[in-house]
Amino acid sequence: MALRHQVIRIAQNSVENLQHGWFAVRNRSPSEIKEGVSLKERHAKERQFFATSPWDALRGDRVGIPALSGFLAQLLYEHIRREFPAVVAEIEQHCQSLQAEVEKLGPPRQSTMEQRQYLTQISSRYQKKKADYLRGVYGDNLSPDDPLKLRMHIRDLNDAFAKRMSTKGHTRAFRRTDDKMDPEYHLGTTETSTIYDWIRTSYLESRGCELPGCVNPAVIENLFRQQTANWRDIAKEHLAKVNSAVNEFLTAIFGQLVIDPTVQYQLRTHLLPMLEDSNMQAHRTLEDTLEDERGGILQTVNHYFAENLTKAREDRVLSRLRKMGFHEGHAMPVNLPELTKALRLGNDEQTVYDIHDILKAYYKVAIKRFNDEVVTGVVERSWLGQHGFVDIFDPEFVGALSDEEVASIAAENFSTTNTRSELREKLRRFEEARRIAKSI
């Protein structure tokens, strides 16, 4: 009897206090289990049991399976009600995430029409992204050296090309009019002979039927070709770097626009021969440019040539006067015949200096012209400009592909089809859950 009273005190939450209190229930006896007592009969026996002493001292809403079930249902309901907004938000997040994954896969690509539409959509997005990247509109999500920053990389390569041309484009270092090394053309190596020695040798070896003191017109042309012998290799190295940057851009932009790795690979495989065509065209254009600059007669309408040449001749006279002791702001008696005699040079020496100054003045004009032509007429035209390689992949290009080419690029494999089906089924279930949640 004492044990029963102890159990009753526990059930009344007087011994071990619990937040939600205690419930007392009556289990079926072994004989009842053996006899197969129904659930209805079991509940009736339970009510009779708790109606007898001392169990009738317990609260009626705290005894029996029905009371416990009702309490737990209410407790669960209150818990769900507290957490329900978070559950709905999580369902919505799953719906959006799954929808985005389905959209990344694009529409089904079983038929030729579906495949062509798929490629057309990719090409349209490609054109927009490409235009942004070539304008320098990169966004904040790209790393400093991301291959997608194509315009930045090409600008850097063009700058490096121009710098290398200025330091390594010439085979001989030009000198200043005071006969000192011109730091702008210093090659970083010790010369065994000066450019004047080289010019003198070429001039003497090229003399023909011209009058003494005159120059064979072919001399300056030959000297210019020798002085610019490095241009071809420097420019070809530049084109190789540009082609590599464009190739990396192609890989990166398809990786960004196309989720299916097979389509990425097939697109690159289809376009790479065209990249090689552009590369070959760039080299042909470079050879034409080199022939224009180095193969024909030397000519320019740039007024800087005449201005630089005139200034060089004036500076040479001033340099010789300074060597004689003349300086600006200092008056001294002058013997004009002696002065004229001192300023006069021998025919060969004067010719060597003239050739040097003509060659230097023309080289300054020609190298700037050549650099600009490589940047705009070769690089921009072949790769980046209108009708250049990066401009090729557009909806019109896709429309011109044969059905076989379209299928080879965009046909959907089993893995992609299966992935789309699984994602759509998951999305359907979450959308149904969202519908039910919003109706509550």
pLDDT at 152 over 90: yes
Going by C-beta distance under 8 Å and a sequence separation of 6 or more, which residues neighbour residue 121?
106
pLDDT at 290 over 80: yes
Give 179 or 282, the one with higher predicted confidence. 282
Per the structure, the complete domain to which residue 90 belongs is given by 77-108+417-439
- Give yes or no: residues 219 and 298 share one domain: yes
The Cα angle at residue 369 between residues 216 and 374, in degrees rounded to 5? 120
Q: What's the length of the chain? A: 440
Question: Per-residue confidence at 260, pLDDT binned at 50, 70, 90?
Answer: confident
Going by C-beta distance under 8 Å and a sequence separation of 6 or more, which residues neighbour residue 385?
391
Least confident of 47-61, 283-297, 396-410: 47-61
Residue with tokens 């009371």: 67
Question: Per-residue confidence at 70, pLDDT binned at 50, 70, 90?
Answer: confident
Number of domains within the chain: 3
Q: How far is CA 176 from the centre of its chain?
A: 44
- Give yes or no: residues 184 and 49 share one domain: no
- Give yes or no: residues 243 and 307 share one domain: yes
Q: For residue 349, give the nearest of 209, 125, 179, 182 by alpha carbon.
A: 179
Distance CA 117, CA 397 (A): 12
- Give yes or no: residues 407 and 425 share one domain: no
DSSP 112: H
- Give yes or no: residues 146 and 273 share one domain: yes
Question: Per-residue confidence at 194, pLDDT binned at 50, 70, 90?
Answer: confident
| pLDDT tens, residue by residue, 426-440 | 989 988 888 887 776
- Give yes or no: residues 269 and 358 share one domain: yes
- Give yes or no: residues 280 and 342 share one domain: yes
Model's pTM, two decimal places?
0.72
What pLDDT does residue 190 have? 66
Q: What is the mean pLDDT of residues 21-47?
A: 78
Question: Per-residue confidence at 266, pLDDT binned at 50, 70, 90?
Answer: very high
pLDDT at 247 over 90: yes
What pLDDT does residue 413 have? 79
| pLDDT tens, residue by residue, 341-362 | 555 555 677 888 889 999 999 9
Task: For the chain, give the percent of residues with pLDDT over 90.
Answer: 45
**Is residue 284 domain-resident?**
yes
Least confident of 87-91, 128-132, 296-300: 87-91
What pLDDT does residue 428 have? 92
Long-range contact pairs involving 140-146 (C-beta distance under 8 Å, separation at least 24):
146/252
Q: For residue 414, give the nearest of 108, 39, 136, 134 by alpha carbon.
A: 108
- Angle between the 112-134 and 403-410 helix axes, to the nearest 10 degrees? 70
**Is residue 69 domain-resident?**
no
Side-chain half-sphere of 26: how many Cα atoms within 13 Å? 20
pLDDT at 337 over 70: no
How many of the other CB atoms lie within 10 Å of CB of 436? 10
- Give yes or no: residues 55 and 85 share one domain: no
**Is residue 113 domain-resident?**
no
Residue 24 dihedral angles phi and psi, to the nearest 5°: -110, 130
Q: Residue 355 burial by CB count (10 A; 0-12/13-18/19+): exposed, middle or buried?
A: buried
Q: How far is CA 343 from the centre of its chain?
A: 61
Three-class SS state of 181:
strand
Residue 181 dihedral angles phi and psi, to the nearest 5°: -65, 130
Q: Residue 113 burial by CB count (10 A; 0-12/13-18/19+): exposed, middle or buried?
A: exposed
Least confident of 24-33, 131-140, 428-437: 24-33
Peptide bond into 217 cis (omega under 30): no
CB–CB of 384/390 below 8 Å? yes
What pLDDT does residue 191 have? 66
Distance CA 351, CA 357 (A): 10
- Give yes or no: residues 139 and 219 share one domain: yes
What pLDDT does residue 69 have? 86
Q: What is the mean pLDDT of residues 24-39?
A: 77
User: Token digits for 328?
Assistant: 């600006």
Give 398 or 56, the one with higher predicted confidence. 398
Three-class SS state of 175:
strand
Distance CA 406, CA 118 (A): 10
User: Token digits for 404?
Assistant: 């076989």
pLDDT at 51 over 80: no
